Structure 1
Amino acid sequence: MRIRPLRSTAESALVPVEEPPAEMRAMVVDAPGDPDALRPASVSVPSPVLSEVLVRVVAAGVNPIDAKTRSGAGVSGAIETYPATLGFDFSGVVVKTPYEAHPFPAGTEVFGMASFPRTSGSYGGYVVAPSLSVARKPASLSHVEAAGVPLAALTAWGLVVETAHAHEGQRILIHAGSGGVGHFAVQFAAYFGAHVTVTASGRNSSWLRELGASVVIDYTTTRFEEVVGEMDAVIDLVGNVRADTGTRSLEVLRPGGLYVIVPTGSWPGYAEAAADAGVRATSYKVIPDGGALATIARLLDSGSVQVYIEQVFDLAEAADAHRAIETGHTRGKVVLRVSDG
């Protein structure tokens, strides 16, 4: 019987690592506030426990949930102590592992999600993360590109693949298709054969068609319910925060179709409204699944899926990154450059 090695030759190439310092630079908040609440600080390097790995962060993704949390919404209620280091997404290099034969030995380039706010976040030089929330960084991507993937791509994967079960011929409508989650959702749905309709601003039409959308509706000029109908599923990344997008979405679903909403706070009554309309409905929260992330990494390396990074800021410019996110009009992802690769 042939014993399979723990790592292939390609996987065994490791980056040199140094013992982490006691302190690291980070961007923290002392209390909820506007983007200028983010300030630079020197904080203790976190210590991994049990199955966690310690990662030197090269780049950190910036997501709408980060800005919401900083402002006092999002997951701010679960922050137990301040100052707090925000951030979920990271790409970097493992510097400490739970045991010698761990699948991600020191020197492995990885990307994944931190357990913020249960632990400190990724807006700093080092972060701890559960082993099951991490995967090897796609070889074809830089750390900056990889940092834009985890939360957005895993959310899109959960919405499109695990919840809507995208398949050949299925008709899926995706709202806000040009954003971080949206541009991955479009690609996953198209990859699995669905007929994808997207709402977005007109400037993104050609790009979204390149990503796999069959129909792009400019929400600034056209009401989507006037041009589409009998959809099998709607992936709603807007909700009723703008122009009653959620309520109008129920009108275009076939009987028994599926409505999936992410920003539930924008429409607390979505479940009752869906039941009255004769369709199914569910909310969705991202699952930081390293196995799914590894699958996404293979799709990225094969060229079947791509990540689009619109803006890159240095860590000290985190406030500007949050201001960019809060416009609600970024294409793809915003990333912080934390350290040299």
Structure 2
Amino acid sequence: MYSKVSVKLTHNGKPTVWSGKQAIKLISCQFILILLFLRTACCQSIPPPVVARPVEVDLSNLEVKNKLPFDAPFVVITTPTDKLDELKISNIQEGAGSSVGSNLMVPGMTIKWSRKTSEPLNGKYDTERASLYYTTINGEYARPNRLYIITIEGYKDGKLVRSFELEAYTETTLEDNVKLDFGVGYAPKPRAIFGLSSVHLHATAINEDTDLVVDKLSVVRQFLVRTSFFIGLSPITFSERTEQPIKERYALGNFVYGVGFRSPFYGKWMKWSRVAKKNPDFGRMFLQPMRLNIGVLNFSQANQNPAITKDVNKRAMFVSLTYDLHIAAILGPIGKILQ
């Protein structure tokens, strides 16, 4: 079905003839590498750090209109009635009834809004809209898949008029635990450089609005959001130094699996970096979506005995450097459909 085509590649000094199928896969991998370059150069996948995710609240109906973000700061936005000239968050309690957990409000923490001294929202002063900003001092952020009771007190002329209790949820989806990446790996034993794409499975949900350096996460939480297990495929080998060439064990490539570590080069040292001082978003954009992986490459090679035609299945340890792939951001509307 596929015709033979010659390409300018050599193996041990000899020209290699690739089938049409192999050539198509090579072109596809080059296209993926171009996407990687565009993703890194344009930073379309990782948005700049947000100050806080807005949470719309309807005090009249005691309704929270969107999800409460986890592992990140947020700002409660609402429209107070004319009878109120000051709002204050007095409590953000995890759980309710018998399953009460931690309180996000720690002693000395004050979150309030005054009609007379309202802060600008999106660069504009708005005395009709209240914004109540929450970030950690020495407490913690909301955790994924939890119920929180937010208590907001309303004041008029300095006197408490009414107290509002609202239920807010930090719901997550499967997409928050599963991440796709691609990049380049190196296996020392066959001395091979290859491209790979894999799916990372996290034990906990990942909020990509979280800045792993700026936002204060616990040591356990940092470990969970950075560590993952992955499985994937290596569709192409760029370079190899073996007596027998590496062959594809499966139709779509060689199977890979292992352990990944997210953002290995993004840490507090970025605060003192010259690059970071000139561009504060550099670490979050270029280093946070990076992964360092250790895994096993499953591949095939021809038997060194010419009399045996059956290939030999082998395994080799490898290390790889990959980037998270956000299909929707790179491919636009088409990517959203695929995602």
Q: TM-score range by the shorter chain?
A: under 0.3
- TM-score, length basis structure 2: 0.21
Higher RCO (CA 8 Å, separation ≥ 6 residues): 1
More strand by share: 2
Which has the larger Rg?
2
- TM-score, length basis structure 1: 0.21
More helix by share: 1
